[in-house]
Structure 1
Amino acid sequence: MLGFGKLTKMVFGTPNDRKIKATRSTVEKINALEEEFEKLTDEQLIEKTAEYRKRVEGGEALDAILPEAFANCREAAKRALGLRAFDTQLLGGIFLHQGNISEMKTGEGKTLVATFPAYLNALTGRGVHIVTVNDYLARRDAEWMSKVFSALGMSTGAIYPQQPDDEKKAAYQCDITYATNNELGFDYLRDNMKSELKDLSQRDHYFAIVDEVDSILIDEARTPLIISGPAEDRTELYMSVDKIIPSISEEHYTLDEKTRNVSFTDEGNDWLEEQLSAAGILPEGQSLYDPESTSIVHHVNQGLRAHKLFTKDKDYIVRGDEVVLIDEFTGRMMAGRRLSEGLHQAIEAKEGCSIKPENVTLAQVTFQNYFRLYDKLGGMTGTALTEEEEFQEIYNLGVVEVPTNRPVARVDDDDAVYRTAQEKYNAIVDTIKEASGKGQPTLVGTTSIEKSELLSDLLTKADIKHNVLNARQHEQEAQIVADAGKLGAVTIATNMAGRGTDIKLGGNVEFKIMEAIAADPETNPDEIRAKIEEGHKADEDAVKEAGGLFVLATERHESRRIDNQLRGRSGRQGDPGRSAFFLSLEDDLMRIFGSDRLDKVLSTLGMKEGEAIVHPWVNKSLERAQAKVEGRNFDIRKQLLKFDDVMNDQRKVIFSQRREIMEAQDLSEIIKDMRHEVIGDLVDEYMPPKTYADQWNTEGLQGAVVEQLGIDVPVADWAQEEGVDDEDIIERLEKAADEHMAQKAAQFGPEQLRGIEKQLLLQIIDRKWREHLLTLEHLRSVVGFRGYAQRDPLNEYKSESFQLFESMLDGLRTDVTRNLSQIRPLTEEEQRAMIAQVQAQQAAAVQAQAEAAEKANRKPLVEGFKEDDPSTWGNPGRNDPCPCGSGKKFKHCHGKLA
């Protein structure tokens, strides 16, 4: 008997079905216009864009223009790329424009889908950002789709790391800008550290289309983007702590793999105290529980985390003398990304690498709060439904599952669960051998580099030819993915999210053509293309005959979405395919989330070695375990966001204030209000309200006035006058301070003083904000303990951070007033001294440059001469020519250093 839920869905359809049905009529309108737009010339397509822009300026809604704009864009794509968008692609584009996530399976052409809503929304003239997961995709998509946009009379730009400023500004001024989430976030932070409007890169935040939206807005949203500067060097402390950690015993710490947490036990603390005292790290007579030991305890905890929670070749790799983090979701190296709070330094000490100094935060933002700046947001991915609640709650994004252009023909096998990892790997090797033997291409998914290399060794022993794609093979990524669909190909991949290159059955035609042209540049490219396309059809048919792409996963990931991304690589555009998951009770997910009961069940069944349990019930129980983990991870992200929202409100105030200051021509009124507030605060402090004259500290006030306002006035004498109260004192001080600043304006010239005020105000805001961020970090790390006193840590954080923010603003007023009161024009003598100093520095720089050039062109007199190795210098006498080839005597050159 059917349940009420299923019965209702059969009668009324699901909410998703209803959305698709309601939007079909718009797609029919676009299709009805196709014939009309086919008749237009290339120039007329561009004229249409100008017409739509005028209509938008005139107040016409984008929704009213949508059918015509989409029809125009489809025609431009047909002419520029030879691609005619399917109805399902138009559906996806409409949902993006409406501010939804379009869930579209792999191979459904999401890159083209983004052009439709991007074109429509760019008609407003406010600029559209298309966000990708890596620089390669940002450049590739911008280059590829710019053909469509230029056919419509629109400009396209791409943002990438280390881009020259003028090029970056030009890219942001384009109608459509392709960029990675990291670059967009960092440019936002950098813009809010600039002091001139002309130096800003970004325009406003109007509409962003996020490709691989789950990867960017969920997976990467756990860590904030931080711009930092160096702090004091503590290399010795990291190395000293690292010598102690390896000798720790299991009873000294507790490890919770579910929460990825590790902490010392009471015995561990006692043992640690002894070790730290013996090593001279903990001063004599000082305990770990003393407040002075906070910093040492923090570093020891980070050392323990580095050794027990972070694994080489899984969480990071060592490249040369550098520890490079690996993105757990994409398996890519994250060059330049570092763990905060000394954890990266602890890993460097563990691996014997050079320890780079810790950093202090100059500016930070989370992806959640950055992307919520946009007026409208849309996203595309193959897998979003499992995180629908999070998208709705945090970003106000609905998820619409767009049907595939052709029905999915992939066969998804039930999971096969083995007792041990060894049995599982044996079965995997046998299955791969069988599939590749009949010519079926196999994509093998692993969860870490370590496991991909272990499997690679097993396949090599079994004499099975294969490719490995992980962080180490990052550069050959596109080529390896393009080859993965060839007849009999075996590809091992550490995670397949956001790879951006489709696995096409029989191999990727474009890559084959590029290879052939590179190998034989003399031959006509058109001949090469015709020949390869003809041969490719036979290859494609042979692969389809063998069963299409076989996706074989060696483990379940914590997130169902990552598993679905891997599975979705097979069966694109109605192609045949198969997917299977091979698991063992020793896998991380099974081991951590209750394999004991399953182990008992398997034992009771009396399973022989090498046998697997395969049943839909096992799939269901695994999905429940994954849903629990996803729920817990969502709660962690939600909690982090609640704390960051507090800082975000303050960040918005500071950043908008900076913007107003930069846009203002004259800040004298703001500066005057600040000065008057400082005077009011000083008088309140030294002459408290509702107190008698004999209780006033007028001498203290006089000293504070000299220090803060730079004026020496007889406050003590004023206070002696009959009938004088605090209001009179404030009035007189304000008048004297205003006159003092008017004199400065006359000395500098009003225009120059306005410029000084602006720069000074921005510098002090930036310095105070940096100090405030550091204070909030410390507050965040201790506020959790308030929970033990039955107080809500979040509420405590909110109220204390607000008080800190208020005191920061008070300090800002005081610093600005004091600094401005003390500035004066330079005397002629000081100006001459400064000019002489600058000239001396320039001359030294020119000299150093000349010496460096001379050194580079110099030919050593002794073969094998090395600057820093005296054993390679030969044995010259003190008056002999120096072996470095400088032409100087040895005693005047390297002989001085020897």
Structure 2
Amino acid sequence: MLGALARTLFGSANDRVVKRLRKRVEAINALEPAIAALSDEELRGKTAEFRGRLAEGATLDDLLEEAFATVRETARRTLGLRPFDVQLMGGIVLHEGMISEMKTGEGKTLVATLPVYLNALEGKGVHVVTVNDYLARRDAAWMSKVYNFLGLSVGTILNGIYDDDRRAAYAADITYGTNNEFGFDYLRDNMKFRLEDMVQRDFNYAIVDEVDSILVDEARTPLIISGPAEDSSELYKAMNVLLPRLTPEDYEKDEKQRSVTLTEEGTEKMEQILREVGMLTQGNLYDTHNVSLVHHMNQALRAHQLFQRDVDYIVKNDKVVIIDEFTGRMMEGRRYSEGLHQALEAKEGVTIQQENQTLASITFQNYFRLYPKLAGMTGTAMTEAAEFGEIYGLEVVEMPTNVPMARKDHDDEVYRSQREKFDAIIDLIEEAQKRRQPVLVGTVSIEKSEMLSEALKQRKMPHEVLNARYHEQEAFIISQAGRPGAVTIATNMAGRGTDIQLGGNLDMALAARLEGVQDEAEIARITAEVTAEIEEGRRIVKEAGGLYVVGTERHESRRIDNQLRGRSGRQGDPGASKFFLALDDDLMRIFGSERMEGMLQKLGLKEGEAIVHPWINKALEKAQQKVEARNFDIRKQLLKYDDVMNDQRKVIYEQRKEIMRATEVQHTIADMRHEVIDELIEACIPPNAYAEQWDTEKLHQEVARLFNLDLPIAEWAKEEGIADQEIKERLISAVDRKMAEKVANYGPDIMRMAEKSLLLQILDQCWKDHLLHLDHLRQGVSLRAYAQKDPLNEYKREAFLMFDALLTRMRETVISVLAHVELRVQRPEDMEPKPQEMHETRHDPAFDEVVDEQGYGTTDADGAVIPRAARSIAVEVDPNDPSTWGKVQRNALCPCGSGKKFKHCHGKIG
């Protein structure tokens, strides 16, 4: 009550920001006459002037008004577009590192040029992040006219381009690319072996287009680069053949949690089937030696019961290609992990690709938080404002529209069945076509779009279909969706990036009609003819009521629905929208009221009748909020665990860069040798121990293993008055002498190169193994909750101990390999480590829950699958029971939780 009163008197926080922005826009407008009077050369000269002022100590904020006025005039001269005042306001919001929510059709692509130009003046690089290659290519080509006029260079990062082209694109003042390409380039860079091979430079400033799609929807799935693991394709094929013998009574499916598990009867039945075919020879299904069967069986069960062809994936060119649930696009090259993709390949009868092991991984949250300054723009961000603030520290500012909104949003219509719903949609499309009103129909899957297309064909109604199958023609199809009487079916409208203009898009129509035409007179005639057609079409469509947007069901995210609605009513155009629902729609069935159908029947709802009421809209909105909250929890949980790995990732990547920057690493290697010797002496000759308590036999064995030296340590220990310090000095002297001999034999240059190359390779191998161990720990740590322990705290504690063990293992491996290695003299370029085979993967952590409950799914060193429950017990450490600690490194933290090193706590001797 008081809050509403305060907003009435003082305006909302958003109103106050908009009011502040208007003052800066007035200052920019005041400069317009003077800037407009400049010649082209004088306008170009502004860039050098601004850079000079920055060098003299001016800040970007000091230059904002003049720089924005310069870009506005340049856009007018090069593109024929003059940014509106609201676009200038959106540009200021982006410069200040916030999210600008601007309705569809308000010109976000042009808005970005203002802060991009201003921030590119520093020469540190600006990244513009889009959702697909088409938009990256289009926006870079379109807006480069402004940047190039002002003397700035523009690069584009696209899928499939080579490293030299990537390096050149990142070196440009402004770089356009997709979120996936930027993220994978970061991971690939940190797997290179020379600084000059890296393509990215230091992060500076990024503007994320469709920021809600990239930083919220896609943030559930981290980027993973993986390499091949062992082949087990025959087992997937075998399970795929056996699985259809199960009936729905044999398993329990929970669509809300995206999980499916065998019932007790189902387990018994599956054991019987496996015994019949000779795959289960001893024991029952959940015995340790049979858990590999359980893993493959469950992946096959998930593939058959939770994933639908043409909804979650499509089959193309002998491959299973994932469909992005938010944009409806194919995700070429992306694969589900933990064998799920192989199970889908077996299900569809395509070639089964090899399984993969993680080599490098990062979440979008942690990738984009690497930028010192981040901003974003979209048409729908206010519903996720809390998440943007909590995760990224980004404030959302809602921009007013340039022209008041004229679209009519009708209440939803709810039908009892899919058939009735589709009949009502087709009737509405038929009515709209009669008055020549264009219709855009939004579906949530390829299957639904093709079902509707088939129904329209039966009624002989011309239409266009836009889904992942027709990805290449999407820009042209969308651009012409506003023509009189046009019917366009689109799988999803998130991030399409092409405006639907009433009457049709002139540029696209001209490009199609003028293809191959050379004669100038003919070009002029066709241009005049097409322009007249578009103008007449715009008049007809406006009289018919503008673009009619039809939703065939509600998406689980309100933003996706709003994006679909937002295609209509751009820049004050007339328009309308309506959603049609059925009681067996996924959202209604999973999250709606189960009693609704019975209630509607009691109310006497007849065949073909719909229920329409604002209360229905509110109930659906609450269901959508539930799903959004659950997805936010998944992303937050993913981030909490990834933050632990992120701290370790930063240390490893920084260490790699330091090694690559160094001309030689002999001092680092020497320090490692001395540290290993210190640890050996502490373990075998404890402080304050008598000579007879020394373990000289173990010390002799370890020195032979690690340093390839046969030293008379037992004889040294018998010498009168000798102490641990003297033995240590003799060890150091002997080891250093051996390494000096190697340098003399092979030459300093060869040895230095070998040291650097081996250090990087061993660091990468240890990091790869560490990632695998963290994966195993992450999957099993949830079981700690049964022991009244917080899984996240357990994960943090054990991840720290594992990281400490990684560093110890790396030191020992490096000095051991260098001590034993015999080098062949070869060309320096042949000593460079060869890049390994890699795959890019997007992995949805939501699917981990399914496996976690079963107690299986991870392989040991021999490739045998070990039960998650058993693995959890193996790493379970009770701080109060030393018998559970196992072998603890001397320099590791003491498992008792004291915070001291083990050698100074429970490992102290005497």
Write the deviation string for residues 721-762 of structure 1: whole angstroms up to 9, x where unpaired: 122222221122112212222222233333332222111111
Whether the 8 Å CA contact 2:592–2:620 is kept in 1: the answer is no
User: Secondary structure in 2 aligned to 1:226?
Assistant: strand
Counterpart-to-counterpart distance in 2, 1:601 and 1:9: 40
Amino acid at match of 1:631: A
Counterpart-to-counterpart distance in 2, 1:40 and 1:715: 85
TM-score normalised per structure 1: 0.90
Residues 168-317 of structure 1 aligned to structure 2 (within 5 Å): 168-282=166-280, 284-317=281-314
* Equivalent in 474, 477, 482 of residue 477 of structure 1: 474
Deviation at 1:699, TM superposition (A): 2.5
Write the deviation string for residues 745-797 of structure 1: whole angstroms up to 9, x where unpaired: 23333333222211111110111111111111111111111112221111111
Question: What residue is the counterpart of 1:11 in the other structure?
Answer: 9
Counterpart-to-counterpart distance in 2, 1:276 and 1:391: 50
Question: What residue is the counterpart of 1:889 in the other structure?
Answer: none
Question: What residue is the counterpart of 1:442 in the other structure?
Answer: 439
Counterpart-to-counterpart distance in 2, 1:391 and 1:445: 27
* Equivalent in 701, 705, 722 of residue 707 of structure 1: 705
Counterpart-to-counterpart distance in 1, 2:602 and 2:518: 66
Question: What residue is the counterpart of 2:893 in the other structure?
Answer: none
Amino acid at match of 1:342: G
- The answer to whether structure 1 residue 350 and structure 2 residue 347 are counterparts is yes
Counterpart-to-counterpart distance in 2, 1:689 and 1:386: 63
Deviation at 1:708, TM superposition (A): 0.9
Counterpart-to-counterpart distance in 2, 1:292 and 1:17: 65
Residues 561-580 of structure 1 aligned to structure 2 (within 5 Å): 561-580=559-578
- The answer to whether structure 1 residue 68 and structure 2 residue 66 are counterparts is yes
Counterpart-to-counterpart distance in 1, 2:719 and 2:515: 95
| Residues 578 and 826 of structure 1, relative CA distance in 2, 3 Å threshold | closer
Q: Answer with 119-128 or 725-734: which moved more.
A: 725-734
User: What are structure 2's unaligned runs of at least 5 residues?
Assistant: 832-910
Whether the 8 Å CA contact 1:747–1:825 is kept in 2: the answer is no
Report how many aligned residue pairs link the two structures: 830
Question: What residue is the counterpart of 2:121 in the other structure?
Answer: 123
Whether the 8 Å CA contact 2:193–2:760 is kept in 1: the answer is yes
Counterpart-to-counterpart distance in 1, 2:401 and 2:412: 25
Deviation at 1:618, TM superposition (A): 1.0
Question: What residue is the counterpart of 2:813 in the other structure?
Answer: 815
* Equivalent in 525, 544, 557 of residue 542 of structure 2: 544
Deviation at 1:713, TM superposition (A): 2.5
Could you say which structure has the larger radius of gyration? 1
Question: What residue is the counterpart of 2:319 in the other structure?
Answer: 322
Whether the 8 Å CA contact 2:403–2:572 is kept in 1: the answer is yes
Counterpart-to-counterpart distance in 2, 1:629 and 1:825: 60
Question: What residue is the counterpart of 1:86 in the other structure?
Answer: 84
Counterpart-to-counterpart distance in 1, 2:694 and 2:240: 58
Deviation at 1:486, TM superposition (A): 0.4
* Equivalent in 414, 419, 432 of residue 417 of structure 1: 414
Deviation at 1:90, TM superposition (A): 0.7
Deviation at 1:696, TM superposition (A): 1.8
User: Secondary structure in 1 aligned to 2:515?
Assistant: helix
Counterpart-to-counterpart distance in 2, 1:548 and 1:106: 15
Whether the 8 Å CA contact 1:230–1:357 is kept in 2: the answer is yes
Question: What residue is the counterpart of 1:502 in the other structure?
Answer: 499
Deviation at 1:346, TM superposition (A): 0.2
Deviation at 1:523, TM superposition (A): 4.1
Counterpart-to-counterpart distance in 1, 2:6 and 2:292: 61
Residues 396-415 of structure 1 aligned to structure 2 (within 5 Å): 396-415=393-412
Question: What residue is the counterpart of 2:646 in the other structure?
Answer: 648
Counterpart-to-counterpart distance in 1, 2:514 and 2:798: 66
Counterpart-to-counterpart distance in 2, 1:469 and 1:810: 55
- The answer to whether structure 1 residue 622 and structure 2 residue 620 are counterparts is yes
Q: Which 4+ runs in 1 deviate beyond 4 A?
A: none
Residues 576-587 of structure 1 aligned to structure 2 (within 5 Å): 576-587=574-585
Whether the 8 Å CA contact 1:102–1:379 is kept in 2: the answer is yes
Q: Answer with 657-666 or 717-726: which moved more.
A: 717-726
Question: What residue is the counterpart of 2:748 in the other structure?
Answer: 750
* Equivalent in 320, 326, 331 of residue 328 of structure 2: 331
Question: What residue is the counterpart of 1:512 in the other structure?
Answer: 509
Counterpart-to-counterpart distance in 2, 1:482 and 1:146: 22
Deviation at 1:621, TM superposition (A): 1.0
Whether the 8 Å CA contact 2:105–2:499 is kept in 1: the answer is yes
Amino acid at match of 1:650: Q
Counterpart-to-counterpart distance in 1, 2:681 and 2:589: 68
User: Secondary structure in 1 aligned to 2:595?
Assistant: helix
Counterpart-to-counterpart distance in 2, 1:303 and 1:692: 62
Residues 631-646 of structure 1 aligned to structure 2 (within 5 Å): 631-646=629-644
TM-score normalised per structure 2: 0.89
Question: What residue is the counterpart of 1:378 in the other structure?
Answer: 375
* Equivalent in 667, 675, 678 of residue 677 of structure 1: 675
Write the deviation string for residues 807-865 of structure 1: whole angstroms up to 9, x where unpaired: 111010001111122234548xxx79x99x99xxxxxxxxxxxxxxxxxxxxxxxxxxx
Question: What residue is the counterpart of 1:779 in the other structure?
Answer: 777
Counterpart-to-counterpart distance in 2, 1:315 and 1:683: 58
Q: Answer with 47-56 or 507-516: which moved more.
A: 47-56
Amino acid at match of 1:413: H
- The answer to whether structure 1 residue 738 and structure 2 residue 748 are counterparts is no
Counterpart-to-counterpart distance in 2, 1:327 and 1:41: 48
Counterpart-to-counterpart distance in 2, 1:639 and 1:292: 32
Question: What residue is the counterpart of 2:768 in the other structure?
Answer: 770
Counterpart-to-counterpart distance in 2, 1:594 and 1:136: 37
Deviation at 1:512, TM superposition (A): 1.1
Deviation at 1:280, TM superposition (A): 2.6
Deviation at 1:519, TM superposition (A): 5.9
Question: What residue is the counterpart of 1:387 in the other structure?
Answer: 384
* Equivalent in 139, 145, 152 of residue 150 of structure 2: 152
Counterpart-to-counterpart distance in 2, 1:286 and 1:184: 50
Counterpart-to-counterpart distance in 2, 1:790 and 1:570: 53
Question: What residue is the counterpart of 1:886 in the other structure?
Answer: none
Counterpart-to-counterpart distance in 2, 1:630 and 1:532: 45
Amino acid at match of 1:755: M
Counterpart-to-counterpart distance in 2, 1:818 and 1:806: 19
Identity of matched residues, %: 60
Write the deviation string for residues 440-461 of structure 1: whole angstroms up to 9, x where unpaired: 0000011111111111111111
Counterpart-to-counterpart distance in 2, 1:226 and 1:88: 39
Whether the 8 Å CA contact 1:585–1:595 is kept in 2: the answer is no
Residues 19-38 of structure 1 aligned to structure 2 (within 5 Å): 19-38=17-36
Counterpart-to-counterpart distance in 1, 2:99 and 2:740: 58
- The answer to whether structure 1 residue 724 and structure 2 residue 722 are counterparts is yes
User: What are structure 1's unaligned runs of at least 5 residues?
Assistant: 839-898
User: Secondary structure in 2 aligned to 1:355?
Assistant: coil
User: Secondary structure in 2 aligned to 1:410?
Assistant: strand
Deviation at 1:489, TM superposition (A): 0.3
Counterpart-to-counterpart distance in 1, 2:622 and 2:509: 43
Q: Answer with 661-670 or 633-642: which moved more.
A: 661-670
Counterpart-to-counterpart distance in 1, 2:524 and 2:742: 75
Amino acid at match of 1:444: V
Question: What residue is the counterpart of 2:899 in the other structure?
Answer: none
Counterpart-to-counterpart distance in 2, 1:26 and 1:480: 39
Write the deviation string for residues 195-231 of structure 1: whole angstroms up to 9, x where unpaired: 1111110001111100111111111111111111111
Q: Answer with 81-90 or 790-799: which moved more.
A: 790-799
Deviation at 1:85, TM superposition (A): 0.5
Deviation at 1:527, TM superposition (A): 4.4
Q: Answer with 174-183 or 792-801: which moved more.
A: 792-801
User: Secondary structure in 1 aligned to 2:563?
Assistant: helix
| Residues 497 and 202 of structure 1, relative CA distance in 2, 3 Å threshold | same
The root-mean-square deviation of aligned C-alpha atoms, in Å, is 1.8
Counterpart-to-counterpart distance in 1, 2:618 and 2:74: 46
